[in-house]
Amino acid sequence: MSEPLRVLLIGENPGNLGEMLRGCGLKAELIHRERPGDGLALASGGEIDVVLLDLDLADGEGTAFLDRLRRTAPDIPVIVLTAAGEDRAAFHAMQSGAQDYLVREKTNAELLCRAIRYAQERMRAEVLLRHSEAMYRRLIENLNEGIIVVDEAGLITFANPRMEEILGCPARRLIGLPIAGFIAGETIPAAQNPFCRRTDQRQEFEQDLIRCDGRRVHALVVTSPIVDAAGSFGGCLAGVLDITGRKQADEALKQSEQKYRLVVESLSEGIWVIDRDACTSFVNPRMAEMLGYSPEEMLGRSIHSFLPASSRAAMRDRLERRRDGTREQYECKFIRKGGETITALVISSPFVGDAGEFQGSIAGVMDITERKRAEEEIRVRSEQLMVLNQVISVSAASLSLAELLEESLEKTLNLMGFHVGIVYMLDAERKRALLQHQRGMPPSCMASNRIIKVHHWPFNFIFVAGQPRYIERQADLSSVEAAILEEFGVSALACIPLVAESVVVGAVYAGSREKESFSREEKTLLESIGKEIGSGILKGMLHKKLEAANREANLYLDIMTHDIKNAENVSNLYTDLLIGMLEGETAQYVRKIQSSIQKSAGILRNVTTIRRIHHDASDLGPIDLDAVIRGEIEAFPGIDIEFSGIRCPVWADDLLCEVFSNLIRSAVRFGGSDIQIVIRVEDYDGENVLVSIEDTGPGIPDSVKESFFHRNDRGWT
């Protein structure tokens, strides 16, 4: 059951107001307070629904009391009661917050009830409005977005606190200022002012604003027109969001993206990004250029469409590892737009989103086709050098021509993987080539190819012109050369001439049953092997010539030595006779002749000794040192030589006597016939003996003592 409406009457005489309330059927309770203070106290308690205020209060306090009542109980509707003719007082009361007024003399039950209901509804609406306005104000004051109202003339009529912060100026100072003064740039006409543009559409734009301190602010502005009930334009309400930080971040991001794009587009390395379905989402220009496409042509295409069929399974496995977060480096073949295949070094990493979810892969791709080609060329060249070194070693170590040819052919076939090999040498008449060694020749062709006539084609090309000939299975192959391949049972045959001293001396054949042609590198290597075998043959030829020359020289020397010794013996015999027959100065001349003959004999003996040193191997054995020394002393009967020391055998060869002979002869030559020589032999350390030879001659300079006994060195004093 609803509570009765509590109506407070403040005034002197309630009259028939209670009856009127009951007469209109309104369930109400009329409470009367004659004194304004009592009524104010009761109203402030919050238990009154409507106040009926008699403006004819004592001392004329009606209007003043209404103001106090509105301040004390702002949510209670007030209806003022006036006497007839007091319209001015009633109007003033309405302006002061009264909801309605009634003229006592004209009031009836219906007017009273209607005024009470109207006052309640109006008060309820005012309360809601005040609440809404309070919420609106709190919202406006707490927004992170600036709110500004500009009239049709472009003057600011309202600004919230956030707008104060954006423009750096208190709102009270902003009111009445033209908004154009805060717009960056040149002065603009009012019609072009974006804050008060006459339009019925909502507008959104970015604008640079100038704060009161001169700093620039970049703002996002949204304006809405203000239109009254008559449709007249009254200005604009604008929401202003300071996006300076965002703009700076966007600009920094834009610059970063530009730098990133510039770096990516300038890289010499390809960049390839694919999505989770392995479709291309980005390639830089270098990547597209690497495969012969434009970047637009590659976008959206599966990476598998750029791979040879043999590489696709491996790529699928790699992409699965990207999903597991694995980063790896590998080599991969790609197919260019024109169909060519390239080899690339790929460094691939998973590409994940902000939440860590797999979104695809990103890879750096480097074209290493040329590097792989260079590596292969280096490998081939290394193999070639290895083969060539092996052949050179054989050439250097071979003791005979047969060994050289056999070993060189075996090395060539084994190291180069050929199946058939033949070595021919030209005969003395240079009309026929004779088989020296073979491997892998079919027995059926041995008889017909043991001797070949070199002036018949195509053999004259090799043995006469000295040019390599490569017989390869191809469409334009002659019937003669096709028959040669068939006879040898090979699909490719290389015929390389062997040249010594610019003269063809033979040829080496190398054939393969697997390949149908020779690569450029193989041809170069085979020709180098031919030159090396030719050099080995030349070395053998020169060695034979040298041996023949040595034999001839030794023969001449032996003949000369024998004949000269015979002449010396005869000359010595005659000089001995003459010395016995002559006296004085004449005999002295004969002695000089005999001395010259002996010097000639010494020279001949030295030549023979030097030849033995150069050509005869040292044959060491036990020799009686005492006998050797005494034998050489006896060869100088007119010289005073003293010899003492131990007797012992020494380990030496038969040239030991030449050492003592040279020493004694040198002492006599430089010291004269009256020189005295002392020779001593002593035990040095139990295993060696020390032989010392002293004389009274001029001696030997210190600078040549170390080289005095060097082999083949001639000393001087």
Identify whether residues 25 and 117 lie together within a single domain: yes
* Predicted local confidence at residue 333, as pLDDT: 94
Asked if residue 240 lies in contact with residue 166, where contact means CB atoms within 8 angstroms, the answer is: yes
Structural domain contains residue 478: yes
Tokens of 67: 């103001």
List of residues 6+ apart from 347 with CB closer than 8 A: 327, 328, 329, 363, 364
Q: Is the CB of residue 490 less than 8 Å from the CB of residue 511?
A: yes
Would you say residue 262 lies in a domain?
Answer: no
Whether residue 28 lies inside any domain: the answer is yes
Question: Who contacts 465 (Cβ-Cβ below 8 Å, separation ≥6)?
Answer: none
* pLDDT given for residue 469 in this prediction: 92
Q: So what's the pLDDT on residue 609?
A: 65
Using an 8 Å Cβ cutoff, are 392 and 411 in contact?
A: no
Q: d(Cα 342, Cα 64) in Å, to the nearest integer?
A: 101
Q: Please give the torsion angle defined by the CA atoms of residues 144, 145, 151 and 157, in that order, rounded to the nearest 10 degrees.
A: 10
Task: Order the strands of the 420-426 sheet from edge to edge.
Answer: 451-453, 432-439, 420-426, 503-512, 492-500, 469-472
- What is the CATH classification number for the domain harbouring 41? 3.40.50.2300
Q: For 323-349, what is each residue's pLDDT tens digit?
A: 988 999 999 999 999 999 999 999 999
- Same domain for 611 and 631? no
Please name the residue that has the structure tokens 């050492």. 659
Q: Tell me what pLDDT residue 247 has.
A: 83
Measured N-to-C along each axis, helices 625-634 and 656-671 cross at an angle, to the nearest 10 degrees, of: 40
Position 10 scores a pLDDT of 85
- End-to-end Cα separation, the chain, in angstroms: 159
Is residue 395 a contact partner of residue 466, using CB atoms and an 8 Å limit? no
DSSP string for 209-245 = EE-TTS-EEEEEEEEEEEE-TT--EEEEEEEEEE-HH
192 & 290 share domain: no
Calculate ∠ Cα 39-40-43, nearest 5°. Answer: 85
Q: Taking a C-beta distance cutoff of 8 angstroms, is the pair 697, 670 a contact?
A: yes
Task: Compute the Cα dihedral for 161, 166, 169, 171 and give only its sign.
Answer: negative
**C-alpha torsion angle, residues 53, 54, 59, 61 (rounded to 10):** 30
Whether 657 contacts 628, CB under 8 Å: yes
**Residue 673: CB partners within 8 Å, gap ≥ 6?**
638, 639
Q: Is residue 333 domain-resident?
A: yes
In a domain, 287, yes or no: yes
Question: Does a structural domain hold residue 521?
Answer: yes
Task: Tell me the CATH number at 596.
Answer: 3.30.450.40
Tell me the residue length of the chain. 717
Residue the block writes with tokens 């694995």: 326
Q: Report d(CA 661, CA 214) in Å as an integer.
A: 119
Q: Which residues pair with 217 in a beta bridge?
A: 209
Q: Which residue bears the tokens 């690497």?
A: 290
| Structure-token pair, residue 372 | 């792989």
Specify the 3-state DSSP secondary structure of 278.
coil
- On whether both 389 and 536 belong to a single domain, the answer is yes
Which stretches of the chain drop beneath a pLDDT of 50? 1, 58, 714-717
What's the confidence (pLDDT) of residue 632? 82
CA distances from 200 to 206, 233, 716 (A): 19, 9, 129
Q: For residue 256, is it within any domain?
A: no
**φ, ψ dihedrals at 422, nearest 5°:** -140, 140
Q: Where is 343: in which H helix or E strand?
A: strand 341-352
Examine the domain organization and report whether 479 and 358 are in the same domain. no
Domain closes at, from 138, 164, 180: 138
Residue found under tokens 């006296």: 583
* CATH code assigned at 206: 3.30.450.20
Token pair listed for 103: 């003229």
**Is 257 within a domain?**
no
Backbone phi, psi, residue 436, to 5°: -105, -40
Looking at the fold, whether 42 and 119 belong to one and the same domain comes out as yes
**pTM of model > 0.85:** no
Last residue of a domain, one of 249, 281, 296: 249
Torsion of CA 641, 645, 650, 654, to 10 degrees: 10
In 3D, which of 287, 149, 134 has the Cα closest to residue 160? 149
- Block residue for tokens 């250029």: 289
Cβ distance 653 to 620 under 8 Å? yes
Report the alpha-carbon angle 204-205-211, nearest 5.
120
| Residue 490: per-residue pLDDT | 92
91: closest CA among 47, 139, 55?
55
394 and 352 together in one domain: no
201-238, pLDDT tens digit by residue? 889 999 999 999 989 999 999 999 988 878 888 899 99
Which residues contact residue 683 at a Cβ distance below 8 angstroms, ignoring those fewer than 6 apart?
646, 648, 689, 690
Detail the DSSP E strand segments found in 374-449: 420-426, 432-439
Do residues 12 and 100 share a domain? yes
Same-domain check for residues 120 and 155: no
Domain that holds residue 86: 5-138
Q: Which one of 371, 406, 431 terminates a domain? A: 371
Q: CB–CB of 168/211 below 8 Å?
A: yes
Same domain assignment for residues 540 and 637 = no
Q: What is the CA radius of gyration of the chain?
A: 66
- Distances in Å between the Cα of 543 and the Cα atoms of 2, 537, 538 are 145, 10, 8
Q: How far apart are CA 270 and CA 290, in angstroms?
A: 7
CB 221 within 8 A of CB 184: no
Kind of pairing, strands 50-54 and 5-10?
parallel
Pair (677, 689) in one structural domain = yes
Q: What are phi and psi of 185, to 5 degrees?
A: 105, -170
How many distinct structural domains can be found in the chain? 5
Residue 281: its H or E element:
strand 280-283
What's the CA gap between 553 and 561, in Å, rounded?
12
On whether both 388 and 529 belong to a single domain, the answer is yes
pLDDT at 702: 66
